[in-house]
């Protein structure tokens, strides 16, 4: 599933195509994706001008001059294809704008979603209401990490994946950030040493920033709207590298399963919880 850097890449790619442009035609080729599409989606968007585009956690936001915001979730395989040569079977919603551009929301697995809500009500929408601070936003910092880790017994990885505590982080970038901070993914939040938590503070935005600069990570379906593939996967230190050498110490990268997800880490650089002390 696309994480924060992939969604950010998509929305940045759409901005020069859509911002300030009027939707001249919006066609839904099926009634639903993960959920039913908003009633009269095409009618409500046709004629509207895009005011701005943005992102909240793993959701893309498209605000119009009609006081509505389109909330985009890419799901597992969703892509926004700009000016495709031909439309494909899985181009489920097609947007045409006054500058002659065409954007198709393509989603082979149909785990994505489109919701159209009043802009004023968007922060309270069920998809967005309970999301924590942005790791690239002004509310992020060591005080936030200290607060969300606190005395929690939950593993460090589970804490960072909890969208109610911090927004947009997924499996890939949590694994990479924990590696940079030297934190074992199973370490209970309350047992993370202050020095390691201090290392985690810059590690999270650094990993995200590098991934955004690389266009995200393309493991299967992700692509920028112009079709460009992300290449941050070439920079992974631990994710997906079980059995390979750690780039820091040459120990073998290990993998464990936490809540049904694979966690990758270096046993030497990220000592197991029982080996840590709070210094």
**Active-site residue flag, 2:** yes
Q: Is residue 201 classed as helix, strand or coil in its secondary structure?
A: helix
CB atoms within 10 A of CB 250: 10
Angle made by CA atoms 257, 75, 204, in degrees to the nearest 5? 55
204 alpha carbon, distance to own chain's centre: 13
Catalytic residue among 58, 157, 180, 241: 58
Report the DSSP beta bridge partners of residue 106: 79, 91
Q: Give yes or no: 261 in active site.
A: yes
The angle, 0 to 180 degrees and rounded to 10, between the axes of the packed helices 4-18 and 194-213 is 40
Taking only Cα atoms into account, the Rg of the chain, rounded to an integer number of angstroms, comes to 20
89 has catalytic annotation: no
Residues 14/72, Cβ–Cβ less than 8 Å: no
Residues near 141 by Cβ (< 8 Å), separated by ≥ 6?
A: 201
CA gap 75, 112 in Å, rounded: 4
Nearest Cα to Cα of residue 202 among 218, 217, 187, 182: 182
Q: 261, 267, 271, 273: which one is catalytic?
A: 261
- Catalytic pick from 3, 8, 63, 134? 3
- Is 38 assigned a catalytic role? no
Burial call 33-44: b when 16+ CB within 10 Å, e when fewer:
bbeebbeebbeb
Give me the active site residues, please: 2-3, 58, 261
């Amino acid at each position: 599933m696309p994480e924060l850097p992939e969604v950010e890449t998509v929305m940045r790619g759409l901005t020069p195509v859509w911002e300030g442009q009027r939707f001249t035609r919006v066609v839904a080729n099926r009634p639903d994706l993960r959920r039913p599409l908003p009633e009269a989606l095409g009618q409500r968007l046709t004629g509207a001008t895009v005011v701005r585009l943005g992102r909240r956690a793993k959701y893309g936001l498209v605000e119009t001059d009609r006081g509505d915001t389109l909330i985009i979730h890419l799901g597992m395989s969703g892509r926004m294809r700009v000016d495709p040569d031909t439309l494909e079977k899985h181009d489920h919603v097609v947007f045409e704008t006054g500058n002659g551009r065409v954007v198709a929301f393509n989603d082979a697995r149909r785990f994505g979603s489109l919701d159209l809500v009043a802009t004023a009500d968007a922060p309270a929408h069920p998809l967005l209401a309970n999301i924590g601070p942005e790791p690239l936003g002004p509310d992020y910092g060591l005080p936030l990490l200290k607060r969300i880790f606190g005395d929690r017994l939950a593993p460090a990885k589970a804490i960072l994946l909890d969208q109610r505590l911090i927004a947009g982080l997924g499996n890939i970038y949590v694994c990479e950030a924990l590696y940079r901070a030297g934190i074992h993914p199973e370490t209970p939040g309350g047992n993370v040493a202050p020095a390691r938590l201090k290392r985690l503070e810059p590690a999270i935005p650094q990993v995200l920033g590098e991934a955004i600069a690389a266009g995200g990570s393309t493991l299967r379906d992700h692509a920028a709207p112009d079709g460009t593939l992300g290449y941050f996967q070439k920079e992974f230190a631990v994710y997906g590298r079980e059995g390979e050498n750690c780039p820091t110490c040459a120990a073998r990268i290990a993998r464990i399963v936490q809540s049904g997800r694979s966690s990758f880490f270096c046993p030497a650089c990220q000592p197991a919880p029982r080996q840590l002390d709070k210094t």
